[in-house]
Amino acid sequence: MATIKPDPTFYPTPASAAAGPPEDLAYVVTLNTDGQHPDALNVIDVSSRERVGRLEMPNVGDELHHFGWNACSSALCPWAPHPHVERRYFLVPGLRSSRIHVVDVGDDPRAPSLAKVIEPDELAAKTGYSRPHTFHCGPDGLYASALGNPEGDGPGGVFLLDHEDFAIKGAWEADRGPQELAYDVWWNIGYDRVVTSEWGTPNMVEGGVNPELLLGGKYGHHLHVWDMKSRRHRQAIDLGPEQQMVLELRPAHDPDKPWGFVGVVVSTADLSASVWLWHPAEGNGQITATKVIEIPAEPAETEQLPPALQPFGAVPPLVTDIALSVDDRSLYVSCWGTGELKRYDVTDPFHPRETGSVRIGGIVGRVAHPAAGTVNGGPQMVEVSRDGRRVYLTNSLYASWDAQFYPEGIDGWMVKLDSGEDLALDSEFFIPFEGERPHQVRLAGGDASSDSYCFPNP
């Protein structure tokens, strides 16, 4: 009699995930920069360093963004009704178009095919949202964040899709409380706690950084804490109006740990960037946030700077992404402005200790890659292999923001770093994207930013 077993790329614990086989493929979404051709999902063989597959979307102008798997290790939670779904599909959102593309990589992982397109009208009708931003595979469905409503205003929020047929279930929030702005959504799965972060409404971000909004403290500066099962807002944590754009959430992978990290793009007080730790407060059952990393701006000559930064005489780090290794020991911080990737030992999450730094590109530095010479852009999206030994970087943020901070244009690239005792660029791994800009990277079989785990390490 045949038995039904969970997908072999689902792992009950973070330690078992880290011990699994290494990735052979990386999937990368790219933005086409000529305005005449569609964006694409690219397949990279990480051993040969070659593009071995590609799927172009059916429309022009989507601006593909943070895509995610339809199912992952969280499906093994005992209370989850979906332990036997496959990690087979990507949900690929168009941040400009509000389309959602369902891409099948199951039959041939090197030849993605389009299984379904959810049009923006359907998304709006069933959720009230538009501009889907980030997809995460949860134990009870697919969670997706959205920046706002179809008119480009707030509120933004979270909506759910079915794991298997990708039907939109509706808006997730039963009671949103004071939450208005949205960006990322993640959870401390062992504590039934959802956390969301803030960027801005579509009208606030689609034209680029608005100086009046930035200096007025109008972009997102809160974390929001929710009850996962009741879907009700429990707490808003204000990091301060000077802490502008509270973006990527990275909770601990071990479900026994009640904390996580979030990156803040810039402080209007001094152009620094920071990383904060959310964790239980002493004695009152609430969650609080503590700044644990601060990265200062770097002085620069006015003529070296793009017009948007010339009044300030400095390059802000612009922390636009962070990634936490599956063993919860190393935190990687992308400084897109200065062109630096930093690694911290976060074994004690309250006291991170810097253990490595690599520079490539940067607004002023333009640090070369050994295989390509001088490059532009900087470390932006960062993805870490499950075993923590390899780190992948791409260099494009968002088209209108790229134009403000790198006005000469960004030539797309993807690179790899080796993360051992030292953190170092792989001198041979450099993948250029001519006429395209790469954004999010996902790794075959899962990566440090894809999965959440139901059981703690033994």
Burial class (CB in 10 A: 0-12, 13-18, 19+), 5: exposed
Relative to beta strand 436-443, strand 423-433 is unpaired
Residue 79: per-residue pLDDT: 86
Two structure tokens written together for 247: 């973006």
* H or E element, residue 16: helix 14-18
Two structure tokens written together for 101: 């593309």
Q: What's 287's DSSP letter? A: E
* H or E element, residue 105: none
Residue 39: per-residue pLDDT: 98
Count of CB atoms situated within 10 Å of the CB of 449: 26
User: Which residue from 52, 157, 44, 144 is spatially nearest to 102, judged by alpha carbons?
Assistant: 144
- For residue 1, being part of any structural domain is answered with no
Q: What is the pTM of this model?
A: 0.97
- For residue 448, being part of any structural domain is answered with no
Residue 77: per-residue pLDDT: 93
Count of CB atoms situated within 10 Å of the CB of 138: 25
Q: What's 305's DSSP letter? A: S
Domain count, the chain: 1
- For residue 7, being part of any structural domain is answered with no
* H or E element, residue 436: strand 436-443
Q: How far apart are CA 342 and CA 17, in angstroms?
A: 24
Residue 1: per-residue pLDDT: 40
Two structure tokens written together for 192: 């039934």
Residue 285: per-residue pLDDT: 84
User: Coil, helix or strand for 275?
Assistant: strand
Query: HSE of 367 in the Cβ direction (CA atoms, 13 Å)?
Result: 17
Residue 282: per-residue pLDDT: 85
Relative to beta strand 40-45, strand 412-419 is unpaired
Residue 2: per-residue pLDDT: 45
- For residue 30, being part of any structural domain is answered with yes
Residue 80: per-residue pLDDT: 83
Two structure tokens written together for 209: 């950084």
- For residue 41, being part of any structural domain is answered with yes
CATH number at residue 18: 2.130.10.10
Sign, CA dihedral 185-188-190-191, equals negative
Decide: 442 and 43 in contact? Cβ < 8 Å.
Answer: no
Residue 102: per-residue pLDDT: 98
- For residue 112, being part of any structural domain is answered with yes
Residue 283: per-residue pLDDT: 78
- For residue 124, being part of any structural domain is answered with yes
Decide: 11 and 445 in contact? Cβ < 8 Å.
Answer: no
CA angle 181, 187, 188 (to 5 degrees): 140
- For residue 9, being part of any structural domain is answered with no
Please identify every stretch of the chain with a pLDDT value under 50, giving residue numbers as ranges.
1-2
Label residues 255-278 b or e (16+ Cβ within 10 Å = b).
bebbbbbbbbbbbbeebbbbbbbb
The domain in which residue 392 lies consists of 14-443
